């Protein structure tokens, strides 16, 4: 009598991995971007998903896998990414989504006026001002100017978006800029605003 062996593959039994982009999830067109998926120690295979579809799968003997996107462009690569890791017969849940924003002159159908950044009264609330074409849906990101690392995201209120630095401290000193980008893929973004240097000295804040 023949017997049938059924293998059950469990999904979501491993901790959710963490996905991040190097050098940043906000990049210029044409650069190489490495998407790093950090899974549980002992994970031996990894998958990269783009806009809900499997893009690449690879085996790796470490707990981290690197997926390299070469010469990214603002249409094919400016997408939403997630990853998951596997160990034995088990797969983890998908990671939280990561939006890769590729900066162009301006997003499609947007004004050619770039974003600008200033510090409002009291110095604790940064506001971006920009000009967007009606009917478009955008997000605005406050960036660390040198690394282009997103620090905060906001939905514009009319033609402005506000970013708060509550009880600003010396560690908040640094160089800031901002961009706006489309809320749906492809995530095309404006070039960064001019950088704003913020210096916090004790309870005293000034901008240069």
The full set of domains in the chain, from first to last, is 11-102 (2.60.40.10), 105-207 (2.60.40.10)
Higher pLDDT, 155 or 13: 155
* pLDDT at res. 96: 97
pLDDT 10s digits, 9-25? 444 478 899 999 999 99
More confident residue, 128 or 100: 100
- DSSP for 114-131 reads PPEEEE-TTSSEEEEE--
pLDDT at residue 112 tops 60: no
Do strands 26-28 and 101-103 pair parallel, antiparallel, or not at all (unpaired)? Answer: parallel
CA angle (177 as vertex; 28, 166 as ends), nearest 5? 140
Cα–Cα distance for residue pair 103/2, rounded to 1 Å: 60
pTM of the full predicted structure?
A: 0.77
From residue 42, how far is each of 46, 58, 60, 72, 109 by CA, in Å? 12, 14, 9, 31, 47
């Amino acid at each position: 009598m023949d017997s049938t062996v059924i293998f059950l593959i469990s999904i979501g039994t491993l901790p959710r991995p963490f996905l991040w982009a190097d050098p940043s999830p906000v990049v210029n067109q044409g650069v190489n971007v490495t998407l790093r998926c950090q899974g549980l120690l002992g994970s031996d295979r990894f998958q990269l998903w783009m806009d809900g579809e499997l893009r690449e799968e690879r085996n790796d003997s470490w707990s981290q896998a690197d997926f390299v996107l070469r010469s990214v462009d603002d249409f094919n690569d400016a997408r939403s990414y997630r990853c998951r890791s596997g160990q034995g017969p088990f797969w983890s849940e998908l990671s939280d989504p990561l939006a890769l924003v590729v900066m162009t002159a301006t997003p499609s159908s947007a004004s050619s006026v770039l974003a600008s950044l200033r510090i409002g009264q009291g110095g604790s609330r940064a506001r971006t001002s920009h000009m967007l074409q009606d009917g478009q849906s955008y997000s605005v990101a406050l960036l660390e100017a040198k690394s282009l690392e997103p620090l905060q995201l906001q939905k514009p209120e009319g033609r402005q978006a506000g970013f708060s630095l509550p009880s600003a401290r010396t560690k908040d000193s640094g160089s800031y800029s901002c961009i706006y980008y489309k809320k749906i893929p492809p995530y095309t973004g404006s070039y960064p605003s001019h950088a704003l240097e913020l210096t916090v000295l004790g309870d005293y804040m000034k901008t240069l």
